[in-house]
Homo-oligomer: A and B are copies of this chain.
């Protein structure tokens, strides 16, 4: 992670989560989109985290982030404040979280201020957060080369115009399928993909849960299945891990052509398949390159086919 390498700027929530699944219950575990994203990105490129926490945020979590060389100059710790605290559970197919409570704490008044050194970062991941805050970040970066934007149903419902504005100023959209369909009021994923590209995005990456992911660009479409998992313990953070790994991988590459994006989708899928194997970032924080590489190989094999001959 030496000097001169592309750094990734990641803005989003930093949270303490209470999560219940069929595999157990954990309390005040490290969570938040910016955390999942930064740890995933850190396997490929140095990450700068922009977020806010209260002074109840445990030191061991700060240590864990720093252990991944994540720059925390942009993580504001509010004295006397409470860290964003979310509680929820997953049932059945675990496709969707049932929220028990959301205590915004210091996140309610989050106004990101980028340290001067971070304003030249060229790789920017705007994790799921109020689009007004995403725009504030975009106003502070000087020369972004590749901006990745995530969002969610809530913002599409109540701030659709702002979401569209962020997307117009981004290069890559990363949405799940229901979000993408909702955004353009369509039943067709290719139509949603097309409309995202019409906004000026170069790539639209749609996450389809157990159906994997599909990317749309001017060069066509590219699809990968989900890794056939034996066990999903906790799906929290899968999308953020996907995004963090995707942009981290791209930041680490010398070129950003279509093939690099396709490989980045593979890398994102692979990393997302790890994070769900355990609660919080237990599984992704200790990943070694050989593990990621092997899972990318499995995914690559799942789409490998020689051209058809008659």
Contacts and interface: CB of A to CB of B under 8 A. Distances in A.
Interface of A: 44, 92-93, 187-190, 193, 208, 210-212, 214, 220-225, 228-229, 252, 259, 262-263, 266-267, 289, 292-293, 296-298, 300-310
Nearest to A228: B190
Given A308-B267, A308-B293, A224 B222 contact: no
A305 to B, nearest CB: 4
B308 A296 contact: yes
Contacts of A301: 220
Given A210-B189, A263-B305, A306-B263, A223 B220 contact: no
7 contacts: A208-B211, A220-B298, A223-B303, A262-B305, A296-B307, A296-B308, A300-B308
A305 B305 contact: no
Nearest to A310: B289
A221 B228 contact: yes
A303 B190 contact: no
B214 A225 contact: yes
B310 A300 contact: no
* Max chain B C-beta neighbours (<10 A), residue from A44, A223, A296, A309: A223
Given A223-B303, A292-B310, 12 more contacts: A188-B210, A190-B228, A211-B211, A214-B225, A222-B302, A222-B303, A223-B224, A223-B225, A259-B305, A296-B307, A297-B308, A300-B305
B310 A252 contact: yes
Contacts of A214: 225
Contacts of A228: 190, 193, 221
Most buried by B among A190, A229, A259, A293: A190
A289 to B, nearest CB: 6
A304 B214 CA distance: 12
A140 B183 CA distance: 55
B305 A293 contact: no
B308 A263 contact: yes
Given A211-B208, A308-B266, A302 B223 contact: yes
Nearest to A263: B308
Which 10 A-B residue pairs are closest in the complex by CB-CB distance? A223-B225, A190-B228, A303-B303, A296-B308, A262-B305, A211-B211, A93-B187, A263-B308, A221-B302, A266-B308
Given A223-B223, A298-B220, A301-B220, A190 B229 contact: yes
Contacts of A309: 263
Contacts of A187: 92-93
